[in-house]
Structure 1
Amino acid sequence: MSKKTKPSLLKDILGPESLTTIANAGASVSGRFDQGAFLSTASEGLDELSIMERVRHIADALSAALPNRYEHALEIVRAMAPQLTHGFQAIAVTEFVARHGLDDFDRSLNALADLTRFGSAEFAVRPFLALDTERTLAEMARWAGSADEHVRRLASEGSRPRLPWAPRIPALKTDPTLAAPILESLKVDPSAYVRKSVANHLNDIAKDRPDWLLNRLAGWQNGEPRTAWIMRHALRTLIKEGEPRALALIGIGQFVAVTIRDFSVEPHMVRLGETIAIKAELISTSPDAQRLVVDYRVHYARAGGKTAGKVFKLKTFDLPAGKAATLVMRQTIRDFSTRRHYPGRHEVELIVNGQTMAKIAFEITTDTSI
């Protein structure tokens, strides 16, 4: 996509241009696709909708343009997919299956395994998991053996307990480990695309069942590089928390033989939109090289005098015996949809191998005269 046509908002990926692409795809594959009905229905009220609301809205507009008989509509939908030009267009098309195919379970799941190659059916498979978790997981376990990496990824991603932007599945909320056989079969997958999904799935489990995760991954220590990559990324939440067993699983000991000669944040006072530089100098006091995981935690000021801490990665590296290392991280202080900044003191901790080694603070101000 060129700079001129790049959407200013994520939701605009599914704007008028995408609607035209989907409409043209439908009309080109079947004379039974009502292009005018689709464009009219899909365009109505589109501006007010978020990206995922647009996905559902477009899926319902497809229903208005397709034959009433589901299997005939599904044939057209599957034929349309190769002509789509963006993954989110394909996600909207897969959503048609989620919203209108629950009564035709096997046909719909087969279609999702096909359609996921053009975008992702990770959201569309969720209603099937909610309706019949055991049956859907059994089919997803078969997907895990597919020759197509997109289908294997769907097996892992679609069954994540905390899939972003997706509704929680009651059975997976109760027991987030139900998809463990799928993850087990993918732990040495040759595709980085699949391995990343497996790691994210396991990280979801870490938030609810950390002991289960640590016990399971302890059995994965076989020296296989692909499995080791998954383990490191799956343990990231627990590593940020300084969980000793998680650190041990990636070869990091709790004992830290370093001194901190300098830990600073500059400037000490900033306004929203400005950037701070966090600097740390670590000096080894060990006769041997050490593997270090260095993070920092910012305790953000909140309304009512409260604070909320968030850990950020700084660096994982080997520090030779007696040597020093200087680490610098720059961070712009700006608001996000998930984080709003408040004026006041913000304490920063330097964390090495899960241990707080030093503290400093900076202040966010609204004073424009500074």
Structure 2
Amino acid sequence: MEEGFLFKDVFNPKLVAIMGQRIKAVWPQFDDVSFQNHIVPNLVDLSLSERSHLISETLYTHLPSEYIKAMDILLSSFNLPVETKEMTGFDGFYYMPIARYVSIYGLDEGDFETSMNALIEITKRFTSEDAIRPFIRKYPKQSFKYLYKWSADENVHVRRLVSEGTRPRLPWSSILREFIVDPRPVLDLLEELKTDSELYVRRSVANNLNDIAKDHPQLVLKTLRRWKSINDKGTQWIITHASRTLLKQGLPEALDLLGYPTDVKISVDNFILNKAACKMGEEIEFAFQIESNAEEEQNLMIDFVVHYMKANGKTAPKVFKLSKKKLPAKGSLNFKKKLSFKAITTRKYYEGLHQIEIQVNGKRYGKREFQLKK
């Protein structure tokens, strides 16, 4: 990767030229010079998504107005599908503007079957997880008919699309509000993928369930309890990774399901902070000890909770995973952890009183306070 490379630079003059050449090779009438001249001079000041939008809009003005014919040309210009199970690198972003082309121009002007077939060919090379969502909203029954069929597809990327495309809260994409209200249609789809042989697919299934658990914890728990009896290592892996939100919330049923009972016999002692105040950009360190009061070994899931000061002057808790340990009978465990307040893009820090708690098998112990200062 070149020095000074920005993520948006995956859409660059070279990519535009290659796209134009490939399309012209299968459709000689394509004016690749005009195509490049409409895009390249305008790239500099645009973001990643804006560059993708510009390319897809320029494709629309340079391809035949008949959607089916335009898609036939685009599909004929594609390279071979990705062979690996998981996609890496930036090469696949070549297909991002084409996926958007389908989601915009195929939704109202196009043929539904043509659009579905195009999304499959795109997802074999990049992903259609965002592009399929407008079709799911507008044509839910027709879309789910395809999704059920794709759940048994031989291509791992197609099977993953079934789960990733229906995630209610897919990151960097619009939410599927109808499945936040009622996720049962999605849960029925995930049943088809729960024993998938590929981790790439199972990880998506777990993430989908974790999304649903944020709004319907009991419904997800009911599903996971049923899956617990399935003699399949992959399914059991899904259960563990789909429970992340449920475990952070300290939901007793979820903890019991994974073998972390909430009636542990412990005490948390010697819980100390290394300083009473911390400056922005610095770290604060805390330490504590867990003592067993039981005559038998106990499974512990140890987390810590930071009560961050927010802009409104109130604190809000954030749970962080720390460790999973077996605590010997009458034994003890010691922990030490640093908490950083260095600037990051995903969290904004505010001055004021902060608190740290220890959480063991969903139950919170102790509370220590410190001031965060500029």
User: Do they superpose with TM above 0.5?
Assistant: yes
* 1:13 alignment partner, one of 10, 15, 20: 10
Equivalent in the alignment of 1:199: 206
Partner Cα separation in structure 2 for residue 14 and residue 100 of structure 1? 21
| Aligned-pair CA distance for 1:334 | 3.1
Query: Aligned-pair distance for 1:20?
Result: 4.0
CA deviation after TM superposition for structure 1 residue 165, in Å: 1.9
Matches within 5 A, 1:331-342: 331-342=339-350
1:25-48 CA-to-partner distances (Å, cap 9, x unmatched) read 434444243323333333465445
Among 35, 39, 47, the residue aligned to 1:38: 35
186-195 or 12-21, larger mean C-alpha shift: 12-21
Give secondary structure in 1 for the equivalent of 2:79: helix
Match runs of 1:25-64 below 5 Å: 25-43=22-40, 45-64=42-61
- Conservation of the 8 A alpha-carbon contact between 2:168 and 2:212: yes
Corresponding position of 2:85: none
Q: Name the structure 1 match of 2:93.
A: 88
Q: 1:145 to 1:363 in 2, by over 3 A?
A: same
Report what 1:178 is aligned to. 185
Q: Does the alignment pair 1:188 with 2:198? A: no
Choose the corresponding residue for 1:283, options 270, 276, 291.
291
Normalized against structure 2, the TM-score is what? 0.89
The verdict on how the C-alpha distance between 1:361 and 1:149 changes in structure 2, with shifts beyond 3 A counting, is: same
Q: Report the equivalent of 2:124.
A: 117
Q: Tell me: CA distance 1:278–1:45, structure 2 relative to 1, closer, same or farther (3 Å).
A: farther
Q: Are the counterparts in 2 of residues 59 and 99 from structure 1 also a CA contact under 8 Å?
A: no
2:228 corresponds to which residue?
A: 221
Q: CA deviation at 1:348?
A: 0.8
Question: Structure 1 stretch 152-161 or stretch 280-289: which is displaced more?
Answer: 280-289
Where 1:261 maps in the other structure, the secondary structure is strand
Q: 1:15 to 1:262 in 2, by over 3 A?
A: farther
2:167–2:176 CA contact under 8 A, matched in 1 = no
Unaligned runs of 5+ in 2: 82-89
| 1:191/1:253 CA distance change after superposition, 3 Å | same
Which residue of structure 2 aligns with residue 296 of structure 1?
304
Whether 1:100 aligns to 2:105 is yes
Give, in whole Å, the separation in 1 of the partners of 2:271 and 2:31: 65
Residue 132 of structure 1 aligns with an amino acid whose one-letter code is Y
Bigger Cα displacement from structure 2, 127-136 vs 334-343: 334-343
Q: CA deviation at 1:24?
A: 4.2
Q: Assess, with a 3 A threshold, how the Cα gap between structure 1 residues 317 and 52 changes in structure 2: closer, same or farther.
A: farther
Contact 1:32–1:66, Cα closer than 8 Å, also in 2: no
Q: How far apart are the structure 1 equivalents of 2:53 and 2:132? A: 14
Aligned twin of 1:148:
155
2: CA distance between counterparts of 1:331 and 1:282? 19
Q: Quickly say closer, same or farther: Cα 1:362–1:70, change in 2 above 3 A.
A: same
What is the identity, as a one-letter code, of the residue corresponding to 1:65? H
1:326 corresponds in structure 2 to 334
Letter in 2 for 1:325: L
Q: Is the 8 A contact 1:334 1:341 kept in 2?
A: no
- The alignment covers a number of residue pairs equal to 363
Match of 1:164 in 2: 171
The alpha-carbon deviation at position 361 of structure 1 amounts to: 2.4
- Give the direction of change, closer, same or farther, for the CA distance of 1:55–1:292 in structure 2 (3 Å limit): farther
Q: C-alpha distance in 2, partners of 1:271/1:16? A: 45
Structure 2 residue aligned with 1:308, among 288, 301, 316? 316
Distance 1:80 1:280 in 2: 61
TM-score, normalising length from structure 1? 0.90
Instruction: Verify the 8 A CA contact 2:13 2:40 in the aligned structure 1.
Output: yes
Change (3 A) 1:330 1:34: farther
Distance 1:294 1:126 in 2: 37
How far 1:343 moved relative to its partner? 0.9
Identity across matched positions, percent:
35
- Match for 1:97: what amino acid? V
Preserved CA contact (<8 Å) 2:168 2:177: no
Whole-Å Cα distance in 1 between the matches of residues 261 and 114 of structure 2?
A: 51
State the alpha-carbon separation in 1 of the partners of residues 303 and 16 from structure 2: 44
* Cα distance, 1:204 vs structure 2: 1.1
- Check if 1:262 corresponds to 2:245: no
Q: Distance in 1 between matches of 2:260 and 2:77?
A: 50
Q: Following the alignment from structure 1 to structure 2, what is the Cα–Cα distance between the partners of residues 19 and 272?
A: 44
